[in-house]
Chain A
Amino acid sequence: MSDLYNVSSSPHVRAKDTTARIMLYVIIALLPASVFGIWNFGLRALILIAVCIATCVVSEWVFELLIHKKSTINDLSAVVTGLLLALNLPSGLPIWQAVLGSVFAIVIVKMMFGGLGQNFMNPALGARCFLLVSFAGTMTNFNCDAYTGATPLALIRNGESVDTMKMLIGTTAGTIGETSTIAILVGAIFLILMGVIDLTIPGTYIVSFVVFIALFGGHGLDGNYITAQLCGGGLMLGAFFMATDYVTSPITPMGKVVYGILLGILTGLFRTFGANAEGVSFAIILSNLLVPIIEKLTIPKAFGQKKEVKQHE
């Protein structure tokens, strides 16, 4: 026989979604928060975003070139990492620190462990925590042209009152992408509608966090306080865009619930009893590390194993 047909194991058809398309959806979903951040903080924010994205993509490309691996920058995951990192930085951060953070995110957190899908920690958050520890001064200095002074969460901690309306819209001090709850939610709704994320992790995260601060926050069910806690400190950005990071969250359905609750408790713990007013980043990367254990403890019951077959008589 001269020409043979292709053979392969079934199934012989594939769905249309690809990894790159999913990443593109995430980028689109982050645009409202990014655009608002640029409007809110000015040109400086735009420069930081551009620098982070460019550094992430270039360092992934160079790293793969050096170790003779096929380039994977086309999957857009480096762009997502760069964008997410930038949105987690204060607009006044020196450029060289942003570059260092981006290189850390891609090379140390992601590529060293085998690239996309293998990292045990969210690269953007890993880099943010690295920067926070290394350059505490610049990373917590939220003074810029538009705002002077502390973030709303820091104000609350000092017992001052905050305007929750401003926090919803986002015209407050903070990192580039975390301030506007509305812009973040617009992106999150897009992701949910596109089937990229579901509400399990963000839902359990937010609910358990609210329960925790209502019990231990010292303000009880004060609506103003709870709203400010929810809208401030990057909780929304973390809950919808970073806690839901596929690679570093559990894949088992029960595991997602456990993970969400764990995030809520840890964030509440850090914010109420910690030295810092914030705690989302540390809660997420700490939970990231627990994912393998969570998955092992929540192996789903297969179909037909749940209960004995119902027989009448």
Chain B
Amino acid sequence: MRKLCYNYIDKVIHKGGKNLYRITNKKHTFYRESGARKMGLMTFKGGVHPHDGKEFSKDKPIRELLPKGELVYPISQHIGAPASPVVAVGDTVLRGQKIAEAGGFVSSPIYSSVSGTVKAIQPRRGAVGDMVNSIIIENDGEMKEVEYHPVDDIDSLSKEEIINKVKEAGVVGMGGAGFPTHVKLSPKEPEKIDYIIANCAECEPYLTADYRRMIENPELLVEGMRIVLKLFDHAKGIFGVENNKPDAIAKLQELVKDEPRMEVCPLQTKYPQGGERQLIYATTHREINSTMLPADAGCIVDNVETLISIYNAVKLGKPVMNRIFTVTGDAVKEPGNFNICIGMSYAEILEAAGGFKTQPEKIISGGPMMGFAMFGLDIPTTKTSSSLLCLTKDDVAASETTACINCGRCVEACPERIVPSKLAKMSEHGDMASFEKWNGMECIECGSCSFICPAKRPLAQSIKTMKKQILAERRNKK
């Protein structure tokens, strides 16, 4: 009953410089060019269908939110070396002024999102629970900005200039991973990039920030894609959107209908459709594993918010200072989507959403599948914070863990086609050799196995723990 009829690309044929896709479903096999996937939805194998929950905030337009009080900027908001502060306590800063510069190539600078004075530079607690050195700015409420340098004609910029602008603006993967975007845009062999994939799946339940962006600013998204396509002459832009957002698909299709280098690819609504490897497979039928980068498969994947930040950085000359943020969940009085200044605390944003309707049991930074549970609200938002989810019932606390009965539901759900129940057992036994032999390192930590487990076992947690141990071991050996 779980295996419905969906289309899979099962072969790609290259003819006269064009890609011809062989697509199969249970009944038919047909060929089509990549430009016209109208017959059905593309997807990956595995995955789960958690409760959607997007109805809370999906119809709430984005509201601008002006910060009050102090803002906190952790110097590590991205993957890679932490940024190093370039301001001192007591300095006056303007909105858009650089307050920390990149600490290496794989790193990213940080900009103030308000005007005010630097109050302190001290460790503060982050959403993941650890203490991170942070720059604290007392907001003067005037929002005095630095002068930006917009570019009238993007065609006049060289590729290096574009990448440099992205790097200087502090653009990182804003879907949650926080990988510095300029690194992604500088692959070893740029001529081998065939696809730029815009991750518009937003497969995490409850989250609607990307959806609102696609509805309200689809042209910015397309412009961002246009800039990235300038960097890669042979590449094609694909917008992968889950089909639970038909209006977003329609808007994007309307905008790209005269764009020979862009197309919209509707995807089946299934978690984790927006996982990088799953998205690449669904849209291009290329597979990558944990030892490869998307660029190895000729793909670059960027999230909606990231592409819009690229547009802001290159065209308007504006660094990353704002992002769209969803406040949602059954405990929130007025769930909604907000354009926040990065650095605001979760508590302040929640206040703008009317506070709590009922006392929540659990508050989560991010979505329910991969987000981080927080024990308090006095925590700053960063470039990668996409939502605050407040749930009145904690499924994890409410369910009792029982013995694994080997039912195999986790195997069916795993998008990486590994065996979570076995790996979790190996993790509990500390059996690193077997764990690696059973491909445990391929886990993408999507949590589908823990979600589906009828015995309510924390499979993903065990696997994540073991992965961390093995990675630490490997580092020590080096």
Which A residues fall within an 8 A CB radius of B?
1, 4-15, 17-19, 21-22, 72, 75, 77, 115-118, 192-195, 246-247, 249, 251-253, 295, 299-307, 309-312
Q: Which of B410-453 contact A (CB under 8 A)?
A: 411, 415-419, 421-422, 437-439, 442, 445, 447-448, 450-453
A12:B286 contact, CB within 8 angstroms: no
B403:A311 contact, CB within 8 angstroms: no
Q: Which chain A residue shows the least CB distance to B408?
A: A251
Among A21, A117, A252, A302, contact of B442 (Cβ-Cβ < 8 Å): A302
Among A9, A195, A251, A304, contact of B421 (Cβ-Cβ < 8 Å): A251
B461 within 8 A of A: yes
Could you give 12 example pairs across A and B, Cβ below 8 Å? A6-B394, A10-B372, A10-B373, A12-B369, A12-B389, A13-B51, A13-B205, A13-B368, A249-B406, A303-B281, A304-B287, A304-B416
A204 to chain B, nearest CB (A): 15
User: A19–B421 Cα gap in the complex (Å)?
Assistant: 15
Chain B neighbourhood of A299, CB < 8 A:
419, 437-439
B370:A10 contact, CB within 8 angstroms: yes
User: A295–B403 Cα gap in the complex (Å)?
Assistant: 20
Knowing A303-B417, A304-B442, the reply to whether A12 touches B395 (Cβ < 8 A) is yes
B464 within 8 A of A: yes
Among A19, A193, A310, contact of B405 (Cβ-Cβ < 8 Å): A19
Knowing A13-B369, A15-B451, the reply to whether A6 touches B418 (Cβ < 8 A) is no
A309:B288 contact, CB within 8 angstroms: yes
Q: Which chain B residue shows the least CB distance to A309?
A: B297
Q: Mark B274-303, 1 if CB is under 8 A from A, else 0.
A: 000100010001111110100011100000
Knowing A7-B373, A12-B395, A302-B416, the reply to whether A115 touches B403 (Cβ < 8 A) is yes
Which B residues fall within an 8 A CB radius of A?
1-2, 12, 14, 19, 48, 50-51, 129, 192, 194, 205, 277, 281, 285-290, 292, 296-298, 360-364, 366, 368-376, 378, 389, 391, 394-397, 399, 402-409, 411, 415-419, 421-422, 437-439, 442, 445, 447-448, 450-456, 458, 460-461, 464
Knowing A10-B371, A11-B370, the reply to whether A302 touches B454 (Cβ < 8 A) is no
Given contacts A116-B405, A117-B455, could you give 13 more A-B pairs where the C-beta distance is less than 8 Å? A5-B361, A5-B375, A5-B376, A6-B375, A9-B464, A10-B372, A13-B369, A13-B451, A14-B396, A14-B399, A22-B407, A302-B289, A309-B292
Among A17, A192, A251, A307, contact of B287 (Cβ-Cβ < 8 Å): A307
A11:B451 contact, CB within 8 angstroms: yes
User: A72–B401 Cα gap in the complex (Å)?
Assistant: 12
User: A239–B397 Cα gap in the complex (Å)?
Assistant: 38
B204 to chain A, nearest CB (A): 10
Q: Which of A10, A14, A77, A311 has the largest number of chain B CB atoms within 10 A?
A: A10
Interface of A is mostly: loop
User: A310–B284 Cα gap in the complex (Å)?
Assistant: 10
A5:B374 contact, CB within 8 angstroms: yes
A247:B406 contact, CB within 8 angstroms: yes
Task: Give the top 9 A-B pairs by smallest Cβ distance, nearest first.
Answer: A304-B289, A11-B447, A9-B461, A117-B403, A302-B439, A302-B442, A304-B287, A7-B373, A4-B375
Q: Which chain A residue shows the least CB distance to B450?
A: A11
Knowing A17-B454, A195-B2, A252-B419, the reply to whether A12 touches B289 (Cβ < 8 A) is no
A303:B464 contact, CB within 8 angstroms: no
B369:A18 contact, CB within 8 angstroms: no
Among B362, B407, B417, B439, contact of A12 (Cβ-Cβ < 8 Å): B362
Among B14, B368, B373, B416, contact of A312 (Cβ-Cβ < 8 Å): B14
B406:A246 contact, CB within 8 angstroms: yes
B213 to chain A, nearest CB (A): 24
B368:A12 contact, CB within 8 angstroms: yes
Chain B neighbourhood of A301, CB < 8 A:
417, 439
A12:B396 contact, CB within 8 angstroms: yes
